[in-house]
Amino acid sequence: MMEIHQRREQILGVLRPALSRAATFRWFVLLVWGVLLNRPPPAVTRDLNAIGLGEGCKGQARPWFESGAFSVEGLCRRWGGWLSEQAHGHRIQGQRGDVGEGIKVAQEGRKMPGVKGLHQESEDVSKAEWIRGHSLNALSILLGGGSAHFAIPMILKVHDGLTAATPETTDAETKPKTTLVTKMADLGTAYAQAGSYIVLDADLACEPVMTRFRRHQVHWISRVRSSTVAHAPFSAVPTVKGPGRPR
């Protein structure tokens, strides 16, 4: 058990350059250990209690999430870079293997940011057709050995229900049109390495994803959509001649 804890401390030390302030990094280490030691659903107070800190430290821990000493994107890139350097990473023709997934998580809070009505496309009868919750896109790296592989999350983002502040424009056509599909494609191109392979669901098999992946030299593995239409070139048979105008 001590070896596992030491290994975790080494991994946290690798992420130190992503946080510019020492105090911010120390709070990051405390909160990570709180998440690891906390068995109930995650919450700031529960995480602090898991590492022996009282509720009085909650006022000092909450501002950490709004600190300007780090960015989530930079922290995730650092974490993904460390995962890519591991010898037991799954390789496809010598390149890194990633897995992308869009998930919907039900939430009880009515005033939580990003919570909205979501439609469940899954055919599982145990899931409700409509839920209120978060729509997230995740990108993971495949690690493992032999026939056992595990998808280690690299980044998980809420991609629906949150509106970024953009300059106001009078022409609606000048605003960028983004969907959950294009956001998943942008997430893959931003965090995947050039030449790597990304496995996606069939519902993401569309032209916007293919265009972005080809532009960034990212390989894509997916099942073709059931609505996909393939066109074959017409091959004329010169020996067959019938009435009417030739085709």
Residue-wise pLDDT for 64-81, tens only, equals 988 999 999 999 999 999
Task: State mean pLDDT over 160-179.
Answer: 59
Choice among 25-29, 50-54, 180-184, 228-232 with the minimum mean pLDDT: 228-232
Confidence (pLDDT) at 246: 65
| 193 and 133 inside one domain | yes
Mean pLDDT of 29-58: 87
- Report which of 233, 238, 151 is spatially closest to residue 200, judged by C-alpha positions: 151
pLDDT of residue 247: 62
Residue matched to tokens 């997934």: 101
Rounded mean pLDDT of 114-127? 78
Per-residue confidence band for 162, with pLDDT thresholds at 50, 70 and 90: low
CB 199 within 8 Å of CB 100: yes
Q: What range does the domain containing 126 cover? A: 89-164+177-226
130 lies in the same domain as 209: yes
Q: What is the pLDDT of residue 170?
A: 47
- Same domain, residue pair 63 and 128: no
The pTM of the full predicted model, rounded to 2 decimals, is 0.78
Our count of domains for the chain comes to 2
Assess whether 139 and 33 both reside in one domain.
Answer: no
Residues 63 and 95 in one domain: no
Q: Is residue 150 assigned to a domain?
A: yes
Is 233 part of a structural domain of the chain?
no
pLDDT tops 70 at residue 166: no
Residue 208 CA to residue 156 CA, distance in Å, equals 21
